Amino acid sequence: MEEMVVGSPELVLAKIRELDDYLLVAHIHPDGDSIGSLLGLADLLEQLGKRWIIASAEEVPSSYRFLPGSEEIRVGTEGLSGSFRNVIALDVSEALRLGDLQPVLAEAQVVINIDHHQGNSFPEPKYVRTSACATGELIYELFLAAGLKPTVVGAKALYTAIMTDTGRFSHANTTQTALKIAAELVGLGADPHHQYVEVYERKDIRLLKLLAKVLDSLRLVCDGKVAYLVIDQETLAGFPLDMGDTENYISYAQMIDGVQIALLFREVEGGTTKVSWRSVPGVDVSRYARDFGGGGHVNAAGCEIAAKPQEAVQKVLEYLQSRIC
C-alpha cells in the first residue's frame, strides 16, 4: 500500500492561524492517539493564542485520565452549540466516525481535518499522511512548522499518542521518525515509565479474570493463518468495563506463530459486533474492513457488523475463505 499525503503541516497551520474559536473532536471509542492528539493540539492552540474547547462522544477511558487537561474534555454535545466557530477533527477519516458529535460539523464555518488513516474522505483543508505512526506525529509536525515546542502537558499527550498507536513501539509503524519524536518528547517532559504504567498497568484484577475467559475463546482457523477471539455480552456480564479496557486483548491472537490475521469480535449493545483486525506486513486488512463498512490502517483496522458475535465470525471467515485461507 502506497503512502498517501494530502495537504501539509504548513497549509493546516496557516489555516489555524487565520481562524479562531475552535472545537476539537476525534473518533468514537477514544484511544491514546485520539486523546493525546486532542490535548497536544490544544497545547499548540494555547501557544498560538487561540480559543478552543474539546469534546468527545464518550468519556475519556480511565487509562488516559492521568493526562493533564483530560478533565477539561467535555462529553457529548450538550452546551456545545454556539460555543465555537470552527472544528478541527483529529485521528478520524470520515464524519460517521465522530458518532454523536457528527452534527457539530454542520454548525462549523470551517472544518479542518488531521489524520493518518487509509481512505480519508474529509474535504480539505486537511493534512493526511498515512505513513505517520499516529496523528500525534502530525501534531508534532505542526509544532515544528510553527517554530514552537510542546509544553510538558503537550509532550505527555503526544508521547501517549505515539506509544499507544505504535503498540508500545512494536508495530510495523515504529519508524525512526516515531522514535526520534518520542525521544524529543521525553526531553520536553514526557515520562516513558510513568506513562506506560498509567496506560498498561494499574488494572483492576477483574480485567485479568476477564482476559482468562476471553482467551478460552481463542481459535485458530484457515490452516493457522487466522486467529480470533470472541467477547460476547454473556462473558462481559458482571464486568464493569469500557471499550478501551479490552483493546489490547487482540495481541494474544496476534502472537501465535504463523498467524497472518488476528481478529477480535466484541459484542456491543444493540446486537452489533465490533471487529478489530490486525495483520502482518504484506496483508492489508484495511481493505477487508472497508468491505464491511469499516476502515483503518493497512495492519490495524476495524468495522462493525450488525449481527451477534457468532454470526459475525461466520460472515468474516466466509469472506476470508477466498482471500487468504
Q: Work out whether strand 226-231 and strand 86-90 pair parallel, antiparallel, or are unpaired.
A: unpaired
Q: Which is nearer to ligand AMP, 32 or 125 (CB)?
A: 32
Q: Which is nearer to ligand AMP, 185 or 264 (CB)?
A: 264
Residue 263 and residue 277 in contact, taking contact as beta carbons nearer than 8 Å = yes
Q: Which is nearer to ligand AMP, 132 or 303 (CB)?
A: 303
Closest CA to 206 of 214, 195, 198, 216: 214
Question: In the bound complex, what is the minimum distance in angstroms from residue 26's beta carbon to Mn ion?
Answer: 7
Cα separation of 305 and 8, whole Å? 35
Judging by beta carbons within 10 Å of its beta carbon (0-12, 13-18, 19+), is residue 77 exposed, middle or buried?
middle
Helix or strand (DSSP H, E) at 22: strand 22-26
- Partner interacting with residue 34 (select from ligand AMP, Mn ion, none; CB below 5-8 Å by kind): Mn ion
Q: Which is nearer to ligand AMP, 27 or 126 (CB)?
A: 27
Closest CA to 231 of 243, 220, 223: 243
- Partner interacting with residue 296 (select from Mn ion, ligand AMP, none; CB below 5-8 Å by kind): ligand AMP
Question: In the bound complex, what is the minimum distance in angstroms from residue 119's beta carbon to ligand AMP?
Answer: 8
Q: Which is nearer to Mn ion, 33 or 198 (CB)?
A: 33
- Partner interacting with residue 20 (select from Mn ion, ligand AMP, none; CB below 5-8 Å by kind): none
Helix (H, G, I), strand (E, B) or coil at 271: coil
Question: In the bound complex, what is the minimum distance in angstroms from residue 134's beta carbon to Mn ion?
Answer: 5
Cα separation of 276 and 319, whole Å? 15
- Partner interacting with residue 302 (select from ligand AMP, Mn ion, none; CB below 5-8 Å by kind): ligand AMP
Helices (H), 229-293: 233-236, 250-254, 285-291
Question: In the bound complex, what is the minimum distance in angstroms from residue 172's beta carbon to Mn ion?
Answer: 14
The residue ranges that bind ligand AMP (CB under 6 A) are 27, 97, 117, 247, 276, 294-297, 300-304
- Partner interacting with residue 138 (select from Mn ion, ligand AMP, none; CB below 5-8 Å by kind): none
- Partner interacting with residue 295 (select from Mn ion, ligand AMP, none; CB below 5-8 Å by kind): ligand AMP
Which position has the grid cell 505542526?
142
Q: Which is nearer to Mn ion, 86 or 118 (CB)?
A: 118
- Partner interacting with residue 141 (select from Mn ion, ligand AMP, none; CB below 5-8 Å by kind): none
Three-state secondary structure readout of 41-81:
HHHHHHHCCCCEEEEECCCCCHHHCCCCCHHHCEECCCCCC
DSSP code for 257: T
Question: In the bound complex, what is the minimum distance in angstroms from residue 136's beta carbon to Mn ion?
Answer: 8
Q: Which is nearer to ligand AMP, 172 or 188 (CB)?
A: 172
CB atoms within 10 A of CB 79: 10
The residue ranges that bind Mn ion (CB under 5 A) are 31, 33-34, 91, 135, 165
Q: Which is nearer to Mn ion, 31 or 43 (CB)?
A: 31
Q: How many helices (H) and strands (E) does the chain have?
A: 12, 13
Question: In the bound complex, what is the minimum distance in angstroms from residue 303's beta carbon to Mn ion?
Answer: 15
Which position has the grid cell 482476559?
211
Question: In the bound complex, what is the minimum distance in angstroms from residue 125's beta carbon to ligand AMP?
Answer: 21
DSSP code for 222: T
Q: Work out whether strand 86-90 and strand 111-115 pair parallel, antiparallel, or are unpaired.
A: parallel
Question: In the bound complex, what is the minimum distance in angstroms from residue 129's beta carbon to ligand AMP?
Answer: 14
